[in-house]
Amino acid sequence: MNKKYLQFEKTDEQNTNLYIYGDIRKQDLIDKWFGDDETRVDAFSFKEALESVDTPNLTVRINSYGGSVSEGLAIYGLLSDFKGNLRTIVDGFACSAASIIFMAGKERIVPENGLLMIHNAWSSVEGDSNAMKKAAEDLEKITQPSVNIYVAKTGLPEKEIKKMMDEEKWITSQEAFDMGFSTAQVKKDDAQQALEANYMFNLVLKLKEKDKEIEKLKKEIEQKTPNEIRQQNNLKPIKEDAWASFFNTKKLEK
């Protein structure tokens, strides 16, 4: 392969490595005008490369923010038809369409510094309300094949998968294994992860910790009475007034 970020490496007569380290998309007008983007991965070039594999074992290593749903699903289908042993490994990120490609592996590995990200299909549209409604309906249908793949591979309920996709869920190595996105745990990372990915990885982990703290605080607040909350904030307790309470017109006194 001539593409820098889509390369096959035959290590021996039994094993071939494939590296997908770029956006998942077709060639666009900018590529045609200024030259093809070396980081771009499309289904057609992937098909050509896959046909050159002549070993029984194939490892696909992924570091990609994702891209086109159609290209991702096509590459997933091509890999699913591979007759040998297929292993997929996250070398940093496997986001969006790239996470779909990751799910094609019979053996799927997210190292401790790797992250998955799943979300609904995106698009842009112009037109009247009818065009907007149709676009929304189309996006739900476009998203459904990805939902089906996640459900089939993880065994999780469709409702739970859709909830995670609605939230644009970032999934850590441990979470990926616990939920069935990956099939094996790897504690020692051998991926050559980019500095940007390291930064983003740490940022996502910090945000997850903040989310846990917020949820914990919400539960604590829900369990406290109004007077306990006022006491915690050095405010005078609410004076009980039955008549005022009846009309829900309590006055808060500092």
Nearest-angstrom CA–CA distance, 108 and 184:
7
Q: Which of 96, 99, 146, 182 is catalytic?
A: 96
Nearest-angstrom CA–CA distance, 45 and 41:
7
Residues in a beta bridge with 19: 7, 61
Q: How many CA atoms lie within 13 A of 39 on its CB side?
A: 9
Q: Are strands 85-95 and 57-64 parallel, antiparallel or unpaired?
A: parallel
Nearest-angstrom CA–CA distance, 208 and 180:
19
> What are the residues whose beta carbons fall under 8 Å from the beta carbon of 215, sequence distance 6 or more?
none
With vertex at residue 76, the alpha carbon angle to CA 26 and CA 85, rounded to the nearest 5 degrees, is: 135
CA-based Rg of the chain, rounded to a whole angstrom? 24
User: Is residue 230 packed enough to be buried (19+ CB in 10 Å), middle (13-18) or exposed (0-12)?
Assistant: middle
Q: Which of 68, 119, 146, 173 is catalytic?
A: 119
| Chain centre to alpha carbon of residue 132 | 26
> What are the residues whose beta carbons fall under 8 Å from the beta carbon of 180, sequence distance 6 or more?
153, 154, 155, 156
Confirm whether 96 is a catalytic residue. yes
Give catalytic residue positions. 96, 119
